[in-house]
Chain A
Amino acid sequence: MVVVAAPALRSDRGWPETLLLFCGKKPLGAAGGFIMLVIVFTAIFANVLQTHDPIATNAAATLAPPSAAHWLGTDHLGRDIYSRILHGARVSLLVGLGSTLVASLLGGIIGLLSGYVGGKTDLVVQRVMDILQGLPLLVLALVMAAALGPSIPNVILAISIPIMPRAARVIRSSVLSIREFQYIEAARALGLTHLRIAFRHILPNTIGPFIVLGTAQLGSAILTEAALSFLGLGVPEPYPSWGRMLSVSAAEYAQKAPWLVLFPGIAISLAVFGSNLLGDALRDTLDPRLRGA
């Protein structure tokens, strides 16, 4: 699989124009981007948009169906689901973005260095990446989460480690293909240090695959967090995480109060859907020859 970094977007167009073109040519992508924007907005302004304190219990109104007082109903402790979903956006985005960033950064650096240096180092690093990738994402995340214990930083770490090899692999491929270009050779001839070449010339050309990878993995990260929380190993109380809102507690009352199960799940699906749509469109734009990967 050869990854070719497409030349940067035409520099004679301004950003607003590029954006509009993007929306026109890739309406699905634009829709995805819009969804992501809404979710990010919700996460940032959760405090303002909420109708109740997301962790306040209310004995009088447990398992209440959606109504004017509680737009999406209440859970078994009387907590307002709408407000919890708003704050859940924070947690899910934090964990999702956090782990994607950590994974991409770590993996990116590893891939960059490994691909550039080559030789034995590359081989060893590759094997280590293989080991980490040898297990399904959820299984490794599960063991890591159990090993580290329930807390937000630990969950981020637990999810980013299994994702990291993928980032490393993509960046490495990118580096391998660029490494042989003429202008790199020219730069070496001019006496630029390896490090300078790596960061100044190669890195910018990997931005494309990086962005594509990031948006693709974001969805994965959010889903993994949901699964971990569902199994009880993810984000702990009292943080309202979408995944944990779906956990055992909710399943208990699902028949009596389906809104407990429906809304958090819809929230998760929307977030992942949006990031996938956006990621797809970005990939199509930035790497037109990458459709098969």
Chain B
Amino acid sequence: MKTYLAQRLGIAALTLFGMSLVIFVLLRLAPGDIVDILFSTGGYVNPSERVAIEKELGLDKPLWVQYVEWMRHMATGDLGKSYRYDLPAWEIIRPLLPVTIELATLSMIVAVLLGVPTGVISAVRQDSTLDYVLRVVSLAGLSMPSFWLGMVIILALVAWIGWIPPMTYVPASENLKLHMIQFALPALAVGYRSSALIMRITRSALLEVMREDYIRTARAKGQGERTVIWNHALKNAILPVVTVIGIEFAFLIGGLVVTETVFNLPGIARFLVQAILWRDYPIVQTLVMFIAMVVIISNLAVDMLYGVLDPRVRYGS
């Protein structure tokens, strides 16, 4: 087990390294840089001023030098200074993290609370009308652009109740009730989407398990249907569901980009879009590496959990 973990961590490090290269190159491929944007806020361009700013920000050095310096700084915990804000990247990102983490967690909770029960019901009542309806509803959730769903929810609220959710961030410390209401809507919008996937996996996993022999044995032994499902089927079906939840959590971050924009929440996803538009390399690089780490860690955690939950799976040789 330990060797396996070490192996996986090694691969994770390699992957992160590769990702840093990809993001570094991609960013610098993009036409225009921070200097262009600074000039555009001034409404003009001046070549000698440009040279001076490039020098100040270290953009005049050859690319590989810039990359090595970035890596060096990261190794010492220095995440760089935002080109736009003239402040350390960590200082700017830190207040944004809790918002995104909270939204992601709440969305995941909604997704699981919605997805698992409906998946179970759908599997148990396979091919009934209820099954079809649930499958269609959940598929609809997968089909709608989450940002559109957000916009429609706001429109509907305004039209039917004449009430607009708070449109500027309300920290929990300021007003807990309003804060929860503010997060409820985007969590619902994102959670609905994720719940669809979880519902489908739960359903198919349960269906697969229910066909197994030991289920028939349990039934033959005379155990009640409910016991059969709860004690035997669900416990064994939980594995792929957990896998999907883990993977989906990381995937959520993509959906958060548009949702944070629509609902005006100051999280890292919304900030990432801004930083990309501003070619604020230090911020984009830091955020992307952070997201990559989250994805890799959650994948690893899920695999480890798999190993713990399923006695048949043993890692390492």
Contacts and interface: CB of A to CB of B under 8 A. Distances in A.
Interface string A261-293: 110010011101100110010000000000110
Contacts of B22: 131-132
Contacts of A139: 253-254, 257, 272, 288, 291
Given A135-B288, A142-B276, A255-B155, A268 B148 contact: yes
A227 B147 contact: yes
A269 B29 contact: no
Contacts of A143: 23, 26-27, 30, 276, 284, 288
Interface stretch (B12-20, B69-77, B176-184, B218-226): B12-20
B142 interface: yes
Nearest to A265: B148
A200 interface: no
Given A130-B15, A135-B295, A138-B255, A273 B143 contact: yes
Interface stretch (B34-42, B200-208, B304-312): B200-208
Residue with the highest number of chain B CB atoms closer than 10 Å, among A134, A137, A246? A134
A132 B250 CA distance: 14
Interface in A185-233: 219, 223, 226-227, 230-231
A227 B144 CA distance: 11
B240 interface: yes
B155 A291 contact: no
B105 interface: no
Contact of A254 (B151, B205, B284): B151
Given A135-B295, A138-B254, A272 B151 contact: no
Given A142-B257, A144-B26, A273-B139, A135 B207 contact: no
B164 to A, nearest CB: 10
Contacts, number: 139
Nearest to A142: B276
A273 B193 CA distance: 13
B145 interface: yes
A28 interface: yes
A64 B155 CA distance: 18
Contacts of B276: 142-143, 146
B268 to A, nearest CB: 11
Interface string B224-261: 00000000000000001000000000111111011001
Given A276-B142, A277-B139, A269 B15 contact: no
Contacts of B277: 146
Interface string A147-178: 11100000000000000000000000000000
Contact of B29 (A136, A148, A246, A272): A148
A69 interface: no
Contacts of B159: 258
A157 to B, nearest CB: 12
B152 A147 contact: no
A292 B136 contact: no
A38 interface: no
B291 A231 contact: no
Chain B binding surface, main DSSP class: helix
A226 B258 CA distance: 10
A147 B27 contact: yes
Contact of A136 (B147, B154, B253): B253
Nearest to A227: B258
B145 A261 contact: no
A128 interface: yes
Interface in B284-317: 284, 288, 291-292, 295-296
A243 B146 CA distance: 12
A262 to B, nearest CB: 7
Contacts of B30: 143, 146-149
B152 A261 contact: yes
A212 to B, nearest CB: 14
B116 to A, nearest CB: 15
Nearest to B139: A276
Contacts of B295: 134-136
Given A143-B23, A227-B257, A135 B292 contact: yes
A199 B155 CA distance: 53
Nearest to A32: B139
13 contacts: A136-B252, A139-B288, A139-B291, A142-B272, A143-B26, A223-B143, A246-B148, A254-B154, A255-B158, A258-B159, A261-B151, A265-B151, A268-B148
- Which 7 A-B pairs have CB atoms at the shortest separation, nearest pair first? A136-B254, A138-B254, A273-B143, A265-B148, A272-B143, A131-B18, A147-B30
Interface of B: 11, 14-16, 18-19, 22-23, 26-27, 29-31, 132, 135-136, 139-140, 142-145, 147-148, 151-152, 154-155, 158-159, 201, 204-205, 207-208, 240, 250-255, 257-258, 261-262, 272-273, 276-277, 284, 288, 291-292, 295-296
